[in-house]
Amino acid sequence: MSRLNPTKTLEQCKQFLSKAKNSFRGKYHLYTGEQLHWVQVFLRLESSVISVILPWVIFCGVYGFFVSLLYHFGVYIAFFEGDRVLTNAVLSFNVGLTLLLVFRTNTAHERFW
């Protein structure tokens, strides 16, 4: 029985780990031990956020389609021109929400790095 060369074995392990770290498929294999194609890994729905947000994405898409369909047929959906209070309230809300999202993203980015 021949004895394995420890340096050769160590180099093979380093080579395998370097390849695995550079690909999503390799990382998934190291984590779970399963050999899957990247599409199969992507489409796994267990413990995924896709199943939670998919109904909302469909709802918002249908709502947007409905509004554009109404606009196409001449039914305009807009604020009244004389109602400046409502327009300013919506504008203020949008600016505030935008700033909150920007600061939250910036904080998350700083924590990551």
Does residue 36 sit in the same domain as residue 5? yes
Domain that holds residue 72: 46-77
Please tell me the pTM assigned to this model.
0.43
Distance in angstroms between the alpha carbons of the first and the last residue of the chain: 50
In angstroms, the CA 76 to CA 10 distance is 70
Does residue 6 sit in the same domain as residue 25? yes
Does residue 39 sit in the same domain as residue 61? no
> Does position 28 have pLDDT exceeding 70, yes or no?
no
- pLDDT above 90 covers a percentage of the chain that reads 21
**Number of folded domains in the chain?**
3
> Does position 39 have pLDDT exceeding 80, yes or no?
no
The pLDDT-based confidence of 58 (bands split at 50, 70, 90) is very high
